[in-house]
Amino acid sequence: MTETTPLDEAHAAMMADEADDAARLRFYERIADAELYMLLEAEPDADQVTPVLYEDSYVMVFDRASRLAAHVGDNAPFVALSGRAVAGMLQDQPLGMAINIGVAPSEILLPAGAVAWLRDTLAHAPGEVEADIDTLLPPKGLPEALITAIDAKLATATGMAAGAYLVGVQYKGGGTGHLLAFVGAIARAQDALVRAASEALTFSGIEAGAMDVGFFAPNDPIVEKLAKVGLRFDLPQGEGLQHTPRMPPGTDPAKPPILK
């Protein structure tokens, strides 16, 4: 039986209604989060790669190694990167992405402009503010699309925090909203968790500012209150960032390979 991947599902939903902005955003989110296998002309040379180009305008990527092999018909050199890393690598390059060409229902050509939009969207950084919490409340009125997006994002955040709670919040001095509260987050994972929350908002089509993010130690007295009224998200546990091995050249998403 042929595997249906999350990218296939998101592509089908987008194509079913081209006027559905939310479905289109979810498709781009799946591209950003997916591990993509980029077809190369030769094995990587240190941190430099030479991708095979489709129609001289697109790098060729596949969301499964088996799909790359099916396209080529044999073993071929490739590099595996997240979609966000591929988008970053293509900065200042007039290249788009040819995704799953000829081997999957999700085949599509993303022109350079679409890749630039994705890159710019992912680069958006939320602002940082400080506020004192007055009252915690159960979350209310948030669309299901946002809850689903948060759950999907945090499902990939292995070992970054002990867990998270989504709550309604009233701040001292006025102001209300929602707070995604991470408990026991690793210090160097906090930026990644903030970005994940921000992207969940962006790709759900929700207005920025609809949700704040906070970090709390497991022994903080507020955690008991969070657990009483909040919607809980369990992050997968494991080695996570605490035992991250040294990565070979070209696999750090912050330092993507350089195109030759």
pLDDT beneath 50: ranges in the chain = 1, 208, 240-254
Neighbours of 255 (CB within 10 A): 14
Contact 104, 67 (CB under 8 A): yes
pLDDT at 27: 93
Using CA of residue 19, residue 57, residue 122, residue 243, what is the dihedral sign?
Answer: positive
pLDDT at 252: 46
Which domains are assigned to the chain?
6-123 (3.40.1350), 133-243 (3.30.429)
The residue among 116, 120, 60, 57 whose CA lies nearest residue 90 is 116
pLDDT at 79: 93
Contact 32, 199 (CB under 8 A): yes
pLDDT at 220: 92
Using CA of residue 111, residue 192, residue 39, residue 27, what is the dihedral sign?
Answer: negative
pLDDT at 259: 61
Tokens of 209: 């500012």
Tokens of 147: 């809850």
